[in-house]
Amino acid sequence: MRRAAILLTVFFFFSCLEIVCPLQAQVYTVRDSAAIYKLLDDADQADLAGNLDVALGLARQALAVSTEKRMKRGEGFALLKIADLALKKEGAGKVLDQLHAPLQIGIQLKDSFMIGLACQQQGQVYLNQTKYQDADNSYNKALHYYTEQKHPDYRAMILNEKGFINDRTGAYDKAAGFYLEALRLLESQNNIKEAANTTGNLAVTNFRMGNKEEAIRLFKKSASMRAQIGDAKGLSATYGNLVVAYTPISLDSALHYQQLVLQYANKTGVKSNMAQANANTAMLLTKQKKYMEAISFQQKAIELYKDVGDRLKLGNQYIGMANLANLINDSVNAESWYAQGAATAKELGNKPLLQNYYTQYADFHFKRNNFEKAYQHTQAAYAYKDSIVNEKTATNIAELQTKYETEKKDNAIARLETEQKIRQLELEKQQVVIAGNKLEAQKKETQIQLLQQQQQLRDVALAKQKDELERQVLLNKNNEQQLLLSVQQLQISENEKKLRLRQLDRERLLRNGVIAGTLLLALLGALLFNRYQLRKKIQEQDNLLLVRNKISKDLHDEIGSTLTSINILSNVSLAAVDVNPGQTKQMLGDISQQSKTVQQNMSDIVWAIRPDNDRVENLAARMREYIGQTLEPQQIQTRLEVNDTALNQYLPMEHRKELLLIYKEAVNNIVKHAGATAVALKLDVQDGSVVMSIKDNGIWKGSPSSSGTGTYSMQQRAAGLGGKVTITGNGHGTEVCLVLPLP
């Protein structure tokens, strides 16, 4: 029983003052009565806070005092409270036997409220045992003893329980109707505790119907109401529902609420709440793929649900345990748990549970390529799903049909009555018109119009009911067509699966062929790759040999001839040192100059072959360095411009060597022949070519474009790499332009 057993303490207190037990003389006083009800009220508060052991002790104390003082009414309510607490703490068990004594006391005292409360608790026991028909019968008996005027709260609680029964049996629309009617009564009485409970149940129904956003909103509203009154047990259950609602959309939110669930469940010690907490923890651990931990919590949930006697949830937990065993590839245990889930579902006759079992078991077989069994169980799952939908639709149609026919008859009767009243008013109107009473005539006319409008409203309402009935009929036909389509799709699926089985052998052969072909291709690829690497290595060796030959040629051409000249000058100067000292001094100067040239040429060759000088930026730095050695000592103003985008451009070894030598030759010509005072140098990379421009303002001795040795050398070097040197000028300044394509 999810309510305070003594909500109307004051009413009982005053009513008991005048009652004398018919079998025993009244010996209790007003003070005794107040003390007993105070104990029961304290038990209610402890129950609300989740302290069940404390509440049970207070209720037993109230029973002892009531028995001692021969207060039968106090004894009856104390027994009801003890039974209520036993139901929460230990489950259904022997609670049903404990309700016999308070029921007899209620009959003996002719106390309709106590009788109703006993019937209500009987219904709760049956509900916990999933005996829904017995529970509904007990609740209907309780409604007989509760009236809306005297006991609105308790009528609301019964409506809430009837809604719960309909929710468990899949009649979600009926369940929602009972919950909304219960909320109307509870809100009128400002009963926060029971309103919170009913709001939570309405949220569950919305969740089952797929209205998840509305369900979450209602769960949070229920939790807020429970926190307001300190309902620890209710908070544990509501937070558990929020865990389930949030798990598919926000694992972080689900984990947050799960921590609160465990906190409140352990605090209350209520087995049903503890069972739900463990089940939810198992679900979240499964989401995190911590299957072994999840199995531990799932097992705890199963044991607790066994103690509580909630066989519907127990059936779902069996299926959940089977799914976990399936995830760790323990097919033997999975089969065992599926069997227990199926047995429970069939024993209860619960269609949603049966649908869940067949759906999960079909997936179990499908993953193991047992397509025939997977197809059979999928068919069964669809059958139960369609049965639930069709039963719901058929029930709606039957109810709408009955309501429509009733309203139709009532409307026909009302129409006749309205027409009769209108005729009577027309006669009365004519009489008052004849009598000259215009005010009374107007009054009669207003009444006639009002009756006509009322009849029109009834006609409109009846038309709406007819439209709704026709809509439900069309919906039912559509569902039947969808069912037929589902069966056809299943047949097609079965044929496809059979075809798949026949193709498996061919696919296996094809797979083996593909594997063999892949291995052959891999071997061939390895051979080709090795051949490619060998050819690449040979090519690299050829390139290395070419570089060596080129360096050798440069050393021979650039360095060898100069060294030979130095050797000759050295011998001549040695012979002339005593004979002609002046000539010897001149030749030693030539030797010094040529030594510097050799040193510079060697430096250029070494610079060009170093791999860390492969960018335009390094070339520009070398060019600036040479300017500082040649032009600036001659007091010639220089300006070197390099495009920023070209600085990181890669230059091959041959390109940077030849470009540097062409540049040096051009600068040397300016120093020797131009007599210039200013030189502008530009370096850029355009359209895949290096472009270098050297422009001076000198007055050349002779034509700058004449075919001297230096000019010929520059042109030959450029032509060797596919480039071109262009020299333009008129004796009053000249420009050397080099365009050298990059590879």
Domain boundaries, the chain: 231-307, 310-368, 388-557, 613-741
- Looking at residue 633, its pLDDT comes to 84
CA torsion, points 146, 147, 150, 154, in degrees to nearest 10?
50
- Looking at residue 520, its pLDDT comes to 87
| pTM of the predicted structure, to 2 decimals | 0.39
Question: pLDDT band at residue 599, thresholds of 50, 70 and 90?
Answer: low
- Nearest-angstrom CA–CA distance, 312 and 348: 8
CA torsion, points 157, 159, 162, 167, in degrees to nearest 10?
-100
Taking 50 as the threshold, does the pLDDT of residue 21 lie above it? no
State the average pLDDT over residues 92-117.
84
Structure tokens at 493: 């699926």
- Convert the pLDDT of each residue in 238-284 to its tens digit: 888 898 888 888 888 888 888 888 788 877 777 777 887 888 788 88
Distance from the Cα of residue 578 to its chain's centroid: 102
State the average pLDDT over residues 20-48.
74
Taking 90 as the threshold, does the pLDDT of residue 218 lie above it? yes
Percentage of residues of the chain with pLDDT beyond 70: 78
| Dihedrals phi, psi of 485, to nearest 5 degrees | -65, -40
- Looking at residue 9, its pLDDT comes to 38
Taking 60 as the threshold, does the pLDDT of residue 613 lie above it? yes
Question: Residue 2's closest CA among 163, 120, 98, 100?
Answer: 120
- Nearest-angstrom CA–CA distance, 28 and 66: 8
Number of helices (H), then strands (E), in the chain? 26, 5
Strand, helix or coil for residue 260: helix
- Looking at residue 465, its pLDDT comes to 66
- Convert the pLDDT of each residue in 701-725 to its tens digit: 655 555 566 778 888 888 888 898 9
- Nearest-angstrom CA–CA distance, 539 and 440: 123
- Convert the pLDDT of each residue in 54-67 to its tens digit: 888 998 998 898 88
The end-to-end CA distance of the chain, in Å, is: 91
CATH topology of domain 231-307: 1.25.40
pLDDT: is 571 or 686 the higher one?
Answer: 686
| Dihedrals phi, psi of 679, to nearest 5 degrees | -135, 130
- Looking at residue 18, its pLDDT comes to 37
Q: Where is mean pLDDT largest: 151-160, 395-404, 420-429, 447-456?
A: 151-160
CATH class of 613-741: alpha beta
CB of 65 closer than 8 Å to CB of 74: yes
Residue identified by tokens 């089985």 is 501
- Convert the pLDDT of each residue in 344-400 to its tens digit: 888 888 888 888 888 888 888 887 887 777 777 777 777 776 666 555 555 555 555
For the beta carbon of residue 220, count every other beta carbon within 10 angstroms: 15
The DSSP string of 517-535 is: HHHHHHHHHHHHHHHHHHH
Question: pLDDT band at residue 473, thresholds of 50, 70 and 90?
Answer: low
- Nearest-angstrom CA–CA distance, 523 and 145: 90
CB of 69 closer than 8 Å to CB of 28: yes
Question: Residue 341's closest CA among 329, 328, 324?
Answer: 324
pLDDT: is 199 or 436 the higher one?
Answer: 199
CB of 191 closer than 8 Å to CB of 153: yes
Residue identified by tokens 């130095």 is 566
* Single-letter amino acid code for the residue at 455: Q
In 146-231, alpha helices (H): 152-168, 172-188, 192-208, 212-229
